């Protein structure tokens, strides 16, 4: 395709592409996101493509390989438009039937429909799936219909019209005013008002400015940014372009973590395609705006999600944060004013420009506007990416969308905000998804990760898990983070291994408070949050570990014993064969026994046993 030199040429291209697709009667969307790919969706894609070709339907039916739709456990997923039919767990062998029955004859294949685990009902179409029903998928729905490797798809769907509107007739003042009135706050965890950040960057002295997209997404259990960047990179690019125009930046970077190879690929392709059309480069669409973007890869460091560490990494250095007495909007990448925003923040910008700030501000709560994408994972029936309006109660997300706990265990808590956040017990589930409310309660929205925990989760172990993670990821420069996290972990390990003393809880709290106040960067400052929030709401679990040397959830190895229930064991010997430590003895068809001395409580026997005969106490 040739370079677009004016707004009119872009509109002409859009019209032409839409005309070309007028003969398309049906679109078959197969998800090619990381989740479905892990469930072998590539084979499904190839099979469907072959089948369409075989049945001579290439011209009438469009195969669109899309990005993630957020319901990864149901993958591989296929959505067929315009009927909105939703198929899950598709295998390559189903391709013929799908094409012949559904695409050609319009008949639904019952066995491929989604069945709700709670109600038992099947859903014919995507909007009938309870998981999707209660959501408000402003950003995620844009993943439908768009092949992330096709700029044409994005243009046909209306892409780059926000950029046109901005370049045609909006001044920097107008753009920033819209962002400010919309109430958009950073979606990466900081929740900083985006408009204000842009003002400070624009007003900072200097001609050379940068915009950066933070796609480091290091929070374990969070994959919202992966989904948006992988599935719709042009949306993010367009947001960055608008921001760059408003701020006066001519260069941008998308910093993608190394562990997202597909997101790196798709971003690179998107940038190349945009350059080809002249949407990146000099005099974009014939205007005075010149802007280009490069992709920078992370090297496997959670700390590089911190803005100053990220900028050091883009410059080819180690990701060690620097003190922020001077903000990065003034002194950022290569010491130039830099506006760094999260993937989701940038993704919200085009729709705010097109639909207006009041539209955006009409959703959400007083202090938190718009929608937020959450990664709902853990011990809940429906795990996946959930987009809801801010202000939605946690209860709605966990129970109405998530379907409640798996295995009939009661939900005990939800962990939000990743390693910087905290755990909230069930009785706090009426709290809304809101930056300030959750912060006051001792947690935070963070980047949007929400891990559901049940009775089999030990909250002391959860604190230990996060401290272990943070110790692994700490850059090690400052004393409170490097030594403080280490000592907190030492104390918690004592507690989980039966050596805990009551005075250690007070020491733990004091140490946590010291680290939170004196650490150099956000990683260290928020590192104590998992400890402090579990102490606040689940102190009894800590006390049980210390005073009674008991782990009620049955997790802490030193405080539990594995044994075989003689009433349930039928002597099949599966556990004996599987035990790596040789701790199980027994004769075939007779009750087996676990030697407590040799048992390492690795849990292999428990997961292997088909008769639920392994007891943990």
Partner 1 sequence: MPPQTLEQTLEGRRSQPNQLIEVLQDIQKNYGYISKEAMQIVSQELGVPLIEVYRVASFYKAFRLKPSGKNVLTMCMGTACHVRGARLLLDQATGQLGVKQGEVTPDGLFSVEHVNCLGACALGPIIAENGSYHNHMTPAKLRKLIETLRRQQIEDKQNVPAK
Partner 2 sequence: MLQYVNVNIDGAIIRATKGTSVLDTALEYGICIPHLCHVPYLSDIGACRLCIVEHVANGRSNVTTSCTLNVEEGMVIMTNTDRIRRLRRNLAELLVAQAPNSRAIQDIALRCGVREVRYPFRNEDCVLCGRCVRVCTEVWKARAIGFVGRGKDRHVDYPFGIRPDFCKQCGSCIQLCPMTIPPCGGPMKPGEECLCSNCESQLIIADEMVGSCVWCKLGEGFACGRYV
Q: Is 75 in the site for partner 2 (CB under 8 A)?
A: no
What does 408 bind: partner 1, partner 2, none (CB cut-off 5 to 8 Å by kind)?
none
Q: Show contacts with partner 1 in window 401-440 (CB under 8 A).
A: 415, 418
**Contact 562/616 with Cβ under 8 angstroms?**
yes
| Of 314, 298, 350, residue with least CA distance to 212 | 314
The residue among 60 and 317 lying less far from partner 1, judged by its C-beta, is 317
Q: Is 514 in the site for partner 2 (CB under 8 A)?
A: yes
How many whole angstroms separate alpha carbon 419 and alpha carbon 73?
Answer: 24
Smallest distance from the beta carbon of 193 to partner 2, in angstroms?
A: 16
DSSP string for 321-365: ----SS-TTTS-GGGS-EEEEEHHHHHHHHHHHHH-HHHHHTSB-
Estimate to the nearest angstrom the gap between the alpha carbon of 479 and the chain centroid.
31
Phi and psi for 408 in degrees, rounded to 5? 70, 0
What does 220 bind: partner 2, partner 1, none (CB cut-off 5 to 8 Å by kind)?
partner 1
| Total residue length of the chain | 617
Q: Is 228 in the site for partner 1 (CB under 8 A)?
A: no
What does 603 bind: partner 2, partner 1, none (CB cut-off 5 to 8 Å by kind)?
partner 1
How many whole angstroms separate alpha carbon 553 and alpha carbon 455?
Answer: 6
Question: Of residues 318, 326, 587, 598, which one binds partner 1 by CB under 8 A?
Answer: 318
**Contact 457/555 with Cβ under 8 angstroms?**
yes
Smallest distance from the beta carbon of 478 to partner 2, in angstroms?
A: 5
The residue among 62 and 381 lying less far from partner 1, judged by its C-beta, is 381
Question: Of residues 475, 532, 535, 594, which one binds partner 2 by CB under 8 A?
Answer: 475
Which is it for the CA torsion 422, 141, 346, 259, positive or negative?
A: positive
Question: Of residues 177, 477, 536, 550, which one binds partner 2 by CB under 8 A?
Answer: 477
Question: Of residues 317, 440, 501, 568, which one binds partner 1 by CB under 8 A?
Answer: 317
Smallest distance from the beta carbon of 338 to partner 1, in angstroms?
A: 14
The residue among 208 and 436 lying less far from partner 1, judged by its C-beta, is 208
Q: Show contacts with partner 2 in window 483-502 (CB under 8 A).
A: 483-484, 486-487, 490
How many whole angstroms separate alpha carbon 239 and alpha carbon 340?
Answer: 12
Q: Show contacts with partner 1 in window 9-38 (CB under 8 A).
A: 34-35, 37-38
Smallest distance from the beta carbon of 299 to partner 1, in angstroms?
A: 3
How many whole angstroms separate alpha carbon 485 and alpha carbon 556?
Answer: 20
Phi and psi for 296 in degrees, rounded to 5? -115, 135
Q: Is 214 in the site for partner 1 (CB under 8 A)?
A: no
Beta bridge partners of 374: 386
Listed in sequence order, the residues at least 6 apart from 306 whose beta carbon sits closer than 8 Å to its beta carbon are 319, 321, 521, 522, 523
Q: Is 457 in the site for partner 1 (CB under 8 A)?
A: yes
* Window of 149-157, 170-178, 449-457, 493-501 that interacts with partner 1 by CB under 8 A: 449-457
The residue among 299 and 582 lying less far from partner 2, judged by its C-beta, is 299
Q: Show contacts with partner 1 in window 575-594 (CB under 8 A).
A: 578, 580-581
Smallest distance from the beta carbon of 31 to partner 1, in angstroms?
A: 12
Q: Is 308 in the site for partner 2 (CB under 8 A)?
A: no
Smallest distance from the beta carbon of 295 to partner 1, in angstroms?
A: 10
The residue among 73 and 509 lying less far from partner 1, judged by its C-beta, is 73
Phi and psi for 233 in degrees, rounded to 5? -60, -30
> With b meaning 16 or more CB within 10 Å and e meaning fewer, what string describes 361-396?
eebbbeebbbbbbbbbbbbbbbbbbbbbbbbbbbbb
The residue among 167 and 478 lying less far from partner 1, judged by its C-beta, is 478
How many whole angstroms separate alpha carbon 39 and alpha carbon 161?
Answer: 35
What does 325 bind: partner 1, partner 2, none (CB cut-off 5 to 8 Å by kind)?
partner 2
Q: Is 311 in the site for partner 2 (CB under 8 A)?
A: no
The residue among 119 and 514 lying less far from partner 2, judged by its C-beta, is 514
> With b meaning 16 or more CB within 10 Å and e meaning fewer, what string describes 67-81?
bbbbbbebbbbbbbb
CA count, 13 A, side-chain hemisphere, 362? 6
How many whole angstroms separate alpha carbon 173 and alpha carbon 203?
Answer: 11
User: Where along the sequence are the contacts to partner 1 (CB under 8 A)?
Assistant: 34-35, 37-39, 71-73, 75, 217-223, 226, 258-260, 296-302, 313-319, 375, 377-379, 383-384, 415, 418, 449, 451, 453, 457, 465-466, 469, 472-473, 475, 578, 580-581, 600, 602-604, 607-608
User: Where along the sequence are the contacts to partner 2 (CB under 8 A)?
Assistant: 301, 318, 322-323, 325, 471-480, 482-484, 486-487, 490, 507, 510-511, 514, 517-520
């Amino acid at each position: 395709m040739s370079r677009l030199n004016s707004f009119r040429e872009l509109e002409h291209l859009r019209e032409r592409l839409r005309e070309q697709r007028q003969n398309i009667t049906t679109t078959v969307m197969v998800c090619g996101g990381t989740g479905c790919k892990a469930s072998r969706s590539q084979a499904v894609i190839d099979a469907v493509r072959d089948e369409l070709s075989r049945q001579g339907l290439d011209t009438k039916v469009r195969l669109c390989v899309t990005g993630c739709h957020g319901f990864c456990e149901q993958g591989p997923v296929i959505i067929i438009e315009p009927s909105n039919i939703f198929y899950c767990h598709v295998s390559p062998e189903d391709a013929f039937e799908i094409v012949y029955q559904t695409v050609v004859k319009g008949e639904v294949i019952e066995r491929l429909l989604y069945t709700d685990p709670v109600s038992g009902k099947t859903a014919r179409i995507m909007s009938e799936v309870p998981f999707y029903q209660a959501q408000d998928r402003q950003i995620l729905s844009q993943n439908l219909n768009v092949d992330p490797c096709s700029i044409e798809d994005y243009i046909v769907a209306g892409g780059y019209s926000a950029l046109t509107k901005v370049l045609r007739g909006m001044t920097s003042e107008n753009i920033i005013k819209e962002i400010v009135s919309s109430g958009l706050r950073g979606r990466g965890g900081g929740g900083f008002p985006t408009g204000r950040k842009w003002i400070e960057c624009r007003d900072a002295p200097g001609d050379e400015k940068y915009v950066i997209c933070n796609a480091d997404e290091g929070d374990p259990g969070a994959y919202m940014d992966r989904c948006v960047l992988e599935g719709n990179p042009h949306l993010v690019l367009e947001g960055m372009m608008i921001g760059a125009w408003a701020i006066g930046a001519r260069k941008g970077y998308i910093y993608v973590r190394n562990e997202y190879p597909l997101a790196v690929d798709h971003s690179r392709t998107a940038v190349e395609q945009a350059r080809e059309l002249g949407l990146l480069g000099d005099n974009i669409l014939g205007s005075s705006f010149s802007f280009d973007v490069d992709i920078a890869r992370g090297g496997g460091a959670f700390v590089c999600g911190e803005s100053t560490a990220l900028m050091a990494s883009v410059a080819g250095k180690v990701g060690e944060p620097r003190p922020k007495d001077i903000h990065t909007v003034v002194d950022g990448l290569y010491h130039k004013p830099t506006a760094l925003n999260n993937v989701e923040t940038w993704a919200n910008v085009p729709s705010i420009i097109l639909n207006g700030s009041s539209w955006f501000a009409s959703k959400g709560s007083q202090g938190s506007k718009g929608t937020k994408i959450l990664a709902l994972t853990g011990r809940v029936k429906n795990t996946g990416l959930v987009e809801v309006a801010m202000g939605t109660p946690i209860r709605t997300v966990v129970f109405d969308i998530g379907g409640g706990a798996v295995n009939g265990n009661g939900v005990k808590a939800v962990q939000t905000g990743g390693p910087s956040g905290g755990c909230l017990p069930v009785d706090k589930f009426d709290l809304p998804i809101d930056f300030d409310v959750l912060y006051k309660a001792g947690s935070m929205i963070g980047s949007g990760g929400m891990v559901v925990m049940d009775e089999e989760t030990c909250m002391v172990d959860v604190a230990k898990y996060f401290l272990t993670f943070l110790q692994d990821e700490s850059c090690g420069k400052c004393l409170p983070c490097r030594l403080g996290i280490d000592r907190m972990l030492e104390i918690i390990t004592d507690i989980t291994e039966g050596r805990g003393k009551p005075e250690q809880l007070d020491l733990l709290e004091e140490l946590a408070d010291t680290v939170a106040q004196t650490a150099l960067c956000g990683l260290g400052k928020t590192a104590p949050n998992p400890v402090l929030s579990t102490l606040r709401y689940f102190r009894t679990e800590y006390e049980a570990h210390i005073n009674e040397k008991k782990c009620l959830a049955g997790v802490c190895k030193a405080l539990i014993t594995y044994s075989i229930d003689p009433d349930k064991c039928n002597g099949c010997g599966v556990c004996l064969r599987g035990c790596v430590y040789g701790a199980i003895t027994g004769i075939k068809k007779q009750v087996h026994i676990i030697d407590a001395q040799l048992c390492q409580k690795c849990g292999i026997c428990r997961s292997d046993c088909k008769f639920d005969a392994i007891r943990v106490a």
